[in-house]
Structure 1
Amino acid sequence: MSQPSTRADVDACPGALRLHAAADGPLARVRVPGGRLTGAHVRVLRELAGRWGDGHVELTSRANLQLRAVRDAAAAGLAAGLEAAGLLPSRTHELVRNIAASPLGGDPAVDRLDRALCADSRLASLPGRFLFALDSGLGDVAFSADVAALPVHTHEGHPAAVAILFAGADAGLRVAPDAVVPALLAAAHAFLDERAAQRTTAVEATPGSRADAPDAGVADGRRQVAWRVRELADGPARVAARTAAALGVRPGPAAVLPRPVPREPIGLIEQPGGRVAVGALVPLGRLRPVQLRVLESAATVTVTPWRGIVLRGLTPEAARNWAAALTEAGLEVAAGSRWAGVTACAGRPGCAKSLADVRHDADAATTAGTGLPVHWVGCARGCGSPAGPHVRVEATGSGYRVRSPGGSGFAAVTEVGALVSAARKG
């Protein structure tokens, strides 16, 4: 049984309306469900970043976007620009439009889920860290989400069903493909219900407390609450049971689902119908103005959870032309790039808590791929860390500590550690 984990009941996730006070100035985060953009959206983002921010657009590990160094007086103008471009369809739900999707898929359920989520007034109270996922069946986004839809095959020759996962765990809940959106929304309601029930139980168990007391559930002066399914006591099982009851579905046996190590799409990728996609890495997830200008002429741009981009549905000739244009703009399209799997938090000077300029140091130390993703962080909080196996390079104030959470990847840790040491000596 999982143990509860609590946080202060103040959802400080930044958004497009509520900016985060970063060390280099206010930061705005723009939710982009499924990472789906148009070239017109990219143009608007470039113009807004140039007018109100530092001119760059950052990609996050949830395929959302960030504008840094936004001047305080610009908040209203920034929000108005995003709203006019269709990038802020709901002011009440803008913090909770967190929907991950397989970047090479074209699932229309992303738009349906986003619209249904924004139309549900109660779900505006979801935490800003709660994550939905629509997986194409590759397992590339399902296991890091709070609730996810993952197509599975029941038996050979039988139609596919969709597994609803809870914090990456299979509880045996299956739905038809056309029932995915209602199931995910039911799961979100079940999370809120279970969270409320566990808070009430915790308050009632405290001697002398009342559930309606002003300080009910307060510890050390701060109200405590779970923000994600895994932070609830036995969260996956309890939320799954509530969801199944709400849907009137009897769960079957849970399956052991394979968890592949996701790899960011890079290069020319064949798609159904003779079409081709182009995947490009964005070094350390930061798009410069010249790169944004190139992307403006694309019909669609998909941001990936690995801080890259994908252009889908191209003819072979168009794909080759795009690969050349992206390479010329400084994006990485060739396999074997030294930036494959390498990410970093903001570091100095953007984050006051960071103990090092991790982006500069990552650039100096990164020479080639190591077999595992490598994430550089400026402090012990580890912002933006990948969910799966990876090498963590953490600033300590006097150098870097290199390790792999979970203890795997000894060879990769040794290799990265040697590169970090060599770069520091150089």
Structure 2
Amino acid sequence: MSTSARVRADACPGVFATHDAADGPLARVRLPGGAITAAQLGALADAADDLGDGALHLTSRGNVQLRGVTRPGLAGRLAAAGLLPSPSHERVRNILASPLSDTARKLASALDKALCAAPELAELPGRFLFALDGGQGDVAGEGADVCWRDGAVLLAGEDTGLRVTAGHAVETLLSVARAFLRTRGTAWRVSELADTEPLLKGIAGNRVEPETFATRPGLPIGPIGEAIGIAPVFGRLTSAQARKIAKAGNAVVTPWRSILVLGALEADTGLITDPGAPSLGISACIGHPGCAKSLADVRADAARVGRTPRVHFAGCARRCGKPAREHVDVLATKDGYLVDGAFVPVGELARTLAEKGTQ
């Protein structure tokens, strides 16, 4: 039985159903497991230049958004690049995978293919989220509706005690998704259900006492073997930067608005490669003027803040793009900000956040 009382349909944007933002239509392109080839990244860069605002905007689910898409032709370009394998499923291909786990990334690809081959699962809400964690504890902490964590099955971030092998991970996650469709009522997320046990009914596997798993930070920034972890400021990747990454090879977009580049990246890209960079701890919604609901140019204000604890700037109470993990909440008001609920004038933000970083 659902505890949710949703009174409107899920309006999560995609390629065909865009969001009407203040700066023009916003299209969201799903990248299951964050995987993207060099050719696909180049195609997105071209689309951003030709059809949108000239940038790729990374999301907290490892996807990419194009903003200001005022000219037609995006779907055709994506299909030609292999980024739209099933138009009917394009909004439900929400799959996270541990970027440094070969097992998780391979399972993400298999899950995506199986998901797109199941017509009934095209009816999942656009917010339903799958995750495959190779045991690192990284994407398991991102609030997925159903997650396979190196054998453990988690629902809404909580261990169920069910254990299945990697060979049964895909069918298990899809079984949970089907059960959710049958029982969800008007709920969009598993966390909105009063009882999640029916989601596991009939799934084969071992049962143990549920555990509390540690979660770990996301992708390290800097060299990682022959690859490198990088991050664009506020998750905004210019088309020129995207082409430089594509020149280096294939990549993985992460839910921490960072990118694992699977090759040698040239210098002077303007991307963050220093794990000590102050801006790494700051995320922000698009803010004013891109969003009509925003009460402030949050990115401009965030850019003036120095080193901080993990913090998210939001222009309105919707708090778009906020991290799933613990962070300092900075919410715009008409004449300042609420920092974890306490009013702070704009001029005092840097000091207030610096003090929080020492607590």
TM-score clears 0.5: yes
1:279 to 216, 229, 242: 229
Shift of 1:50: 0.7
Looking at structure 1, the residues matched to 282 and 341 of structure 2 have their Cα atoms a distance apart, in angstroms, of: 14
Q: Which residue of 1 aligns with 2:28?
A: 29
Residue 345 of structure 2 corresponds to none
- SS of equivalent residue, structure 1 residue 340: helix
Out of 277, 281, 301, which is 2:251 matched to? 301
CA distance in 2, matches of 1:148, 1:416: 37
1:267 is aligned with what amino acid? G
**Corresponding position: 1:78 with 2:74:** yes
The offset of 1:415, in angstroms, is 8.1
Q: For this pair of structures, how many residues does the alignment match?
A: 347
Which whole-Å CA distance do the structure 2 matches of 1:136 and 1:248 have between them? 20
Matched, 1:356 2:278: no
Could you tell me which of 193, 196, 200 is aligned with 1:232? 193
How far has the Cα of 1:31 moved from its partner? 0.3
Q: Cα gap change, 1:190/1:250 in structure 2, threshold over 3 Å: closer, same or farther?
A: farther
Q: Is the contact between residue 132 and residue 148 of structure 1 (CA under 8 Å) also seen in structure 2?
A: yes
Cα distance in structure 2, aligned partners of 1:397 and 1:280: 34
Contact kept, 8 Å, 1:58 with 1:67, in 2: the verdict is yes
Describe the SS at the equivalent of 2:279.
coil
Quick one: which of 258, 269, 278 aligns to 1:329? 269
Residues 189 and 401 of structure 1, relative CA distance in 2, 3 Å threshold: same
Q: Percent identity?
A: 49
Report the counterpart of residue 131 of structure 1 in structure 2.
129
The 3-state SS of whatever aligns with 2:180 is helix
The partner residue of 2:322 within 375, 378, 385 is 385
**Aligned AA for 1:387?**
A
Distance 1:398 1:30 in 2: 35
TM-fit CA distance, 1:247? 2.0
The 1-side partners of 2:99 and 2:206 are apart by 31
Instruction: Tell me which amino acid in the other structure corresponds to 1:124.
Output: A
CA 1:358/1:264 → structure 2, altered by over 3 Å: closer, same or farther? farther
In the alignment, the residues of structure 2 paired with residue 189 and residue 335 of structure 1 have an alpha-carbon distance, to the nearest angstrom, of 41
Give the 3-state SS of the residue equivalent to 2:289 in structure 1.
Answer: coil
Deviation at 1:5?
3.0
Counterpart check, 1:103 vs 2:103:
no
Whether contact under 8 Å (1:43, 1:296) holds in the other structure is yes
Contact 1:343/1:376 (<8 A) preserved? yes
Equivalent position of 1:145 in the other structure: 144
- How far residue 404 of structure 1 moved from its aligned partner, in angstroms, is 7.9
CA-CA distance at 1:328 after TM superposition: 0.6
2:167 aligned partner, one-letter code: D
On the 8 A contact 2:220/2:275 being kept in 1, the answer is: no
Residues 58 and 249 from structure 1, CA distance in 2 versus in 1: closer, same or farther, beyond 3 angstroms? Answer: same
Structure 2 CA distance for aligned equivalents of residues 25 and 329 of structure 1: 27
- CA deviations over 1:285-341 (Å, ceiling 9, x no partner): 0011221121121321111111011113x5xxx4xxx2xx2x511001012101112
2:199 corresponds in structure 1 to 242
CA contact (8 A) 1:130 1:227 kept: yes
Extract unaligned runs of 5+ from structure 2.
343-347
Task: Rate the CA distance shift 1:295–1:115 in 2: closer, same or farther, 3 A.
Answer: same
Flag the structure with larger Rg: 1
TM-score of the superposed pair, with normalisation by structure 1 = 0.78
Q: SS state of the match for residue 138, structure 2? A: coil
Identify the residue that residue 375 of structure 1 maps to in structure 2. 312
Computed over aligned residues only, the root mean square deviation of the Cα atoms, in angstroms, reads 2.1
Note if contact 2:251-2:261 (Cα within 8 Å) is conserved in structure 1: yes
Aligned pair partner of 1:400 in 337, 343, 352: 337
2:167 matches 1:178: yes
**Distance in 1 between residues matched to 2:329 and 2:124, nearest whole Å:** 30
Report how far residue 420 of structure 1 moved: 8.7
State which of 248, 265, 280 in structure 1 corresponds to 2:220: 265
Runs of 4+ in 1 over 3 A off after TM superposition: 414-417
State the distance in 2 between where 1:119 and 1:263 align.
30
Other-structure match for 1:20: 19
Deviations 1:201-230 (A, max 9, x none): xxxxxxxxxxxxxxxxxxxxxxxx110000
Aligned CA distance change for structure 1 residues 287 and 242 (closer, same or farther; 3 Å): closer
